[in-house]
């Protein structure tokens, strides 16, 4: 059987190589072909199938072949997108942004050439810039669509391709938002219909926008805040080797805050992300340099963006001086509570895997609430009057009229506004969390995340959870089991004080179980309730690991 597989792999690789417009990728494939049969497994993986649009668009390893991010794949993706836009009758320019990852600028420029080759105007952002600036530009320039070349917080060997639809195609609630079905399937079908990457007509490099688009974003970001609010706050900040630093510092200045202290060895864009194992502020150790700087500078608040600055992480000092990162659910509820108190009208939304506390907060305050599937492409479509949306993975939308996606810059500004206001009262973010806990109980959340090398392991674990579901959790009978198959691979278990949501990650080779434990606060003793909740999460983690067999 091995020689037959080798022949099949060789034929697929030779056909791709002949059509690949990138000399470096052709050389990479030629070397693998020449080493067959030893490379049969590697080549089979590269030709197992094309990358598809997941939770956050097209994303994969930088490597030659259809199952990777490379110039041929990007050429086909751009041609399919541009062709689909024409089929929909969409008029207007395509706006394109890119981060500082390997290949990002090249992929963005190729996308522009494909667009102009098809007769459509292409507008490129003037430099490496955050994803929220691209999302803003789609709306500000009345573009038919937008492309952002980024892999967000993925490892250095990855890159990706996010697609946004403008008002002409996205509808009133989807204006400037990421694609959802059926658009994603339609674009994928159009990509499959591109017969040859080398045969795609290429035009000029498009128009490089000037700095007015960034200035407009910064001005709008600063205007999200109350102009009369306090600004006395000392902030430490890191962009984690990404592209958010310049934009965040400019936005802080425009809003009237002092310049944050920036982690020096993480300040400049670097596609290798040399100081972190994973460039994701959720990962253990990723914020170590930041909290060290915050301690040295006596900061009130520590803020991190992920590499494309669509996410925002915050750490706060404890009574003992140790810094504690806030969970995404904690910051999400703090921001929602702040906006509700500020009188921001509209619907407040989160996802099925986020804490249930936002729903309880909205019910108590008489504010509309919505819950969606995972992903900001769903959150921003939760309601046409969306006021705020968040997901537990450090994504926050505090200004949906400006950016209809998660935005780590405006989130950072808003949490700074909240912290500065509390500081004038001698209080902190931690104090406000305690007040919410007294009112609603401690809603403690955690995540069991399992990274795999073989995606089949995820399917096997989900199968085990479905065939042998948990009957009890933390000693209490499971009162509700919700299985969202076949529409979505999501499984939920509930008891009166516990919730578990299990799903595969849409952006990484991970299986995720989202854990929540609710503990009432007796006699105002928040610390005791938090201790009970922490112990409950540990028990729950072990129980769910056993159910999944991981």
Domain boundaries, the chain: 1-48, 53-209, 214-438, 441-548
Q: Are 338 and 414 in contact (CB under 8 A)?
A: yes
User: Per residue, what are the HEC states of 346-366?
Assistant: CEEEEECCCCCHHHHHHHHHC
Estimate the crossing angle of helix 104-117 against helix 71-87, to 10 degrees. 40
pTM of the model: 0.95
Say which DSSP state 489 is in. Answer: -
Answer whether residue 54 shows pLDDT above 70: no
Looking at CATH, the fold of the domain delimited by 441-548 is given as TATA-Binding Protein (3.30.310)
Range of 88-102, 157-171, 505-519 with top mean pLDDT: 88-102
Report how far residue 396's alpha carbon sits from residue 34's, in angstroms, rounded to the nearest whole number. Answer: 48
Mean pLDDT for the stretch of residues 143-172: 92
How many angstroms separate the CA atoms of 68 and 49, rounded?
10
Strands 386-391 vs 395-397: parallel, antiparallel or unpaired: antiparallel
Instruction: Give buried/exposed letters for 297-329 (b at 16+ CB in 10 A, else e).
Output: eebbbbbbbbbbbbbbbbbbbeeeeebebbbbb
Checking if the pLDDT of 143 tops 70, the result is yes
Contacting residues for 239 by C-beta, under 8 A, at least 6 apart: 245, 248, 262, 266, 267, 269, 304, 305, 307, 309
What digits encode the pLDDT tens for the residues 215-245? 999 999 999 999 999 999 999 999 999 999 9
Fold agreement between 53-209 and 441-548: no
Q: Evaluate if residue 16 carries a pLDDT over 80.
A: yes
Other CB atoms within 10 A of residue 462 CB? 20
* pLDDT above 90 coverage of the chain, percent: 91
Show Cβ contacts of residue 460 under 8 Å, excluding neighbours closer than 6 positions.
Answer: 549
Label each residue of 82-108 as H, E or C: HHHHHHCCCCCCEEEEECCCCCHHHHH
User: How far apart are alpha carbons 465 and 482 in whole angstroms?
Assistant: 12
Q: Is 90 exceeded by the pLDDT of residue 56?
A: no
Which alpha helices (DSSP H) does 366-455 contain, by range?
376-379, 408-424, 429-440
349 pLDDT higher than 90 = yes
**What is the three-class DSSP state of 64?**
coil
Domain 53-209: top CATH class: alpha beta
- Quick one: pLDDT band at residue 170, thresholds 50, 70, 90? confident
Tokens of 367: 């504010």
Q: What is the dihedral of CA 391, 397, 403, 404, to 10 degrees?
A: 50
Nearest to 380 by CA among 348, 412, 355, 357: 348
CA separation for the pair 199, 230 (Å, rounded): 58
Residue 3 has pLDDT above 70, yes or no: no
Contacts of residue 222, defined as CB under 8 A and 6 or more positions apart, other chains included, come to 251, 254, 255, 256, 413
- Compute and round to an integer the Cα radius of gyration of the chain: 24
Cα gap 148→129, rounded to integer Å:
10
CB contact at 8 A, 512 and 503: yes
- Decide if pLDDT at 49 tops 90: no
Instruction: Give the per-residue pLDDT at 476.
Output: 96
Q: What is the DSSP string of 196-225?
A: -STTS------EE--THHHHHHHHHHHTTS
pLDDT for res 55: 58
The conformation of residue 265, written as its DSSP 8-state character, comes to G
CA angle 508, 509, 510 (to 5 degrees): 90
Residue 131 has pLDDT above 90, yes or no: yes
Average pLDDT over residues 465-490: 94
Mean of per-residue pLDDT scores for the chain: 95
- Whether 266 shows a pLDDT value over 80: the answer reads yes
Q: Report the percentage of the chain scoring pLDDT > 70.
A: 98
Torsion of CA 264, 269, 274, 278, to 10 degrees: 110
CA-based nearest residue to 164, from 193, 194, 187: 187
For residue 350, give Cα distances in angstroms to 99, 223, 358, 383: 27, 24, 8, 11
CATH fold of the domain at 214-438: Alpha-D-Glucose-1,6-Bisphosphate; Chain A, domain 3 (3.40.120)
Q: Which of 30, 16, 53 is nearest to 190 (CA)?
A: 53
Given pLDDT bands bounded at 50, 70 and 90, which one contains residue 421? Answer: very high
Tell me the catalytic residues.
Answer: 152
- 290 φ/ψ angles, rounded to the nearest 5 degrees: -65, -50
Measured in whole angstroms, the distance separating CA 52 from the mean position of its chain's CA atoms is 17
pLDDT confidence of residue 8? 86
Q: Kindly state the average pLDDT of the residues 530-541.
A: 97
pLDDT at 5 over 90: no
Strand partners, 386: 347
Q: Could you read off the pLDDT of 273-310 as tens digits, one per residue?
A: 999 999 999 999 999 999 999 999 999 999 999 999 99
pLDDT for position 509? 87
Number of residues that this document lists for the chain: 550
pLDDT higher than 80, residue 181: yes
Which tokens hold the place of 485? 């198959």
Q: What average pLDDT does the segment 107-112 reach?
A: 98
Strands (E), 226-367: 235-238, 261-262, 301-305, 312-317, 323-325, 347-351
């Amino acid at each position: 059987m091995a020689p037959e597989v080798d022949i099949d792999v060789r034929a697929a690789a030779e056909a791709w190589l002949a059509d690949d417009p990138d000399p470096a990728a052709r050389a990479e494939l030629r070397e693998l072909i020449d080493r067959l049969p030893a490379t049969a497994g590697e080549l089979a993986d590269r030709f197992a199938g094309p990358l598809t649009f997941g939770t956050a668009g097209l994303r994969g390893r930088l490597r030659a072949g259809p199952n990777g991010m490379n110039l041929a794949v990007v050429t086909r993706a751009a041609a399919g997108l541009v062709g689909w836009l024409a089929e929909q009758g969409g008029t207007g320019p395509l706006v394109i942004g890119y981060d500082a990852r390997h290949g990002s600028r090249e992929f963005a420029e190729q996308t522009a050439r494909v667009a102009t080759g098809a007769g459509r105007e292409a507008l490129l952002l003037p430099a490496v810039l955050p994803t929220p600036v691209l999302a803003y530009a789609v709306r500000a320039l009345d573009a038919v669509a937008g492309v952002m070349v980024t892999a967000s917080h993925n490892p250095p060997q990855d890159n990706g391709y996010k697609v946004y639809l403008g008002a002409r195609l996205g509808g009133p609630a989807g204006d400037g938002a990421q694609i959802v079905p059926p658009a994603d399937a339609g674009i994928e079908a159009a990509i499959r219909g591109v017969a040859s990457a080398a045969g795609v007509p290429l035009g000029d490099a498009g128009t490089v926008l000037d700095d007015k688009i960034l200035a407009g974003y910064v001005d709008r970001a600063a205007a999200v805040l109350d102009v009369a609010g306090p600004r006395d706050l000392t902030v430490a900040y890191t962009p984690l080797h990404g592209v958010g630093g310049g934009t965040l510092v400019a936005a802080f200045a425009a809003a009237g805050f002092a310049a944050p202290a920036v982690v020096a060895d993480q300040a400049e864009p670097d596609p290798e992300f040399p100081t972190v194992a994973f460039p994701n502020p959720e990962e253990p150790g990723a914020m170590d340099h930041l909290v060290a700087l915050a301690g040295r500078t006596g900061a009130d608040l520590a803020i991190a963006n992920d590499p494309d600055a669509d996410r925002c992480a915050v750490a706060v000092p404890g009574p003992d001086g140790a810094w504690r990162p806030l969970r995404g659910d904690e910051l999400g509820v703090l921001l929602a509570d702040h906006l509700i108190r500020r009188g921001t009208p509209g619907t407040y939304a989160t996802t099925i895997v986020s804490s249930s506390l936002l729903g309880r907060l909205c019910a108590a305050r008489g504010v509309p609430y919505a819950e969606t599937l995972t992903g900001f492409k769903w959150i921003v479509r939760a309601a046409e009057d969306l006021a705020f949306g968040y997901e537990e993975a450090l994504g926050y939308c505090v200004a949906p009229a400006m950016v209809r996606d998660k935005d780590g810059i405006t989130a950072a500004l808003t949490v700074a506004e909240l912290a500065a206001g509390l500081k004038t009262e001698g209080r902190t973010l931690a104090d406000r969390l305690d007040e919410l806990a007294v009112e609603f109980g401690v809603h403690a959340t955690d995540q069991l995340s399992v990274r795999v090398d073989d995606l089949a392991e995820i399917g096997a674990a989900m199968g085990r959870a479905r065939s042998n579901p948990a009957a009890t959790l933390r000693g209490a009978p499971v009162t509700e089991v919700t299985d969202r198959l076949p529409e979505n691979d999501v499984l939920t278990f509930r008891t009166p004080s516990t919730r578990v949501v299990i799903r595969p990650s849409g952006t990484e080779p991970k299986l995720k179980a989202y854990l929540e434990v609710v503990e009432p606060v007796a006699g105002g003793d928040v610390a005791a309730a938090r201790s009970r909740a922490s112990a409950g999460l540990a028990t729950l983690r072990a129980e769910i690991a056993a159910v999944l067999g991981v």
